[in-house]
Amino acid sequence: DAGITQSPRHKVTETGTPVTLRCHQTENHRYMYWYRQDPGHGLRLIHYSYGVKDTDKGEVSDGYSVSRSKTEDFLLTLESATSSQTSVYFCAISRTGDTQYFGPGTRLLVL
């Protein structure tokens, strides 16, 4: 998975609980992305980063925030998890913003 790890790989949480997902890369790529994947929708971009402390919103950013204080780490935070945020979350990296390399995914269940 191109030097990308995601943690945790699985998480079960309750509605209203804050949740933070971590994406770590060892490739020194500039761009990092967070996606969610749901049946019938394909991957949808939540947020992305084009450098340390440089982030922007994607297609489905409501209810999510991100931070990137180091090149290698990109954090996705659900401030107050809802059942609609139950999904599989993928992190991706890219050197130039072109081809993306995806991590193994995190399965999140919000009860």
Residues at the interface with another protein (CB under 8 A): 1, 4, 35, 40-45, 48, 58, 90, 92, 97-105
Backbone angles phi, psi at 69, to 5 degrees: -95, -15
CB atoms within 10 A of CB 17: 13
Smallest gap, in angstroms, from Cβ of residue 42 to another protein? Answer: 4
Nearer Cβ to another protein, position 8 or 80? 8
Nearer Cβ to another protein, position 16 or 97? 97
> Which 3 state secondary structure label does DSSP give 83?
helix
Q: Residue 11 carries which side chain, given as an amino acid letter?
A: K
Smallest gap, in angstroms, from Cβ of residue 107 to another protein? Answer: 9
Smallest gap, in angstroms, from Cβ of residue 62 to another protein? Answer: 17
Nearer Cβ to another protein, position 21 or 92? 92
**Structural tokens at position 90:** 């993928």
Smallest gap, in angstroms, from Cβ of residue 102 to another protein? Answer: 3
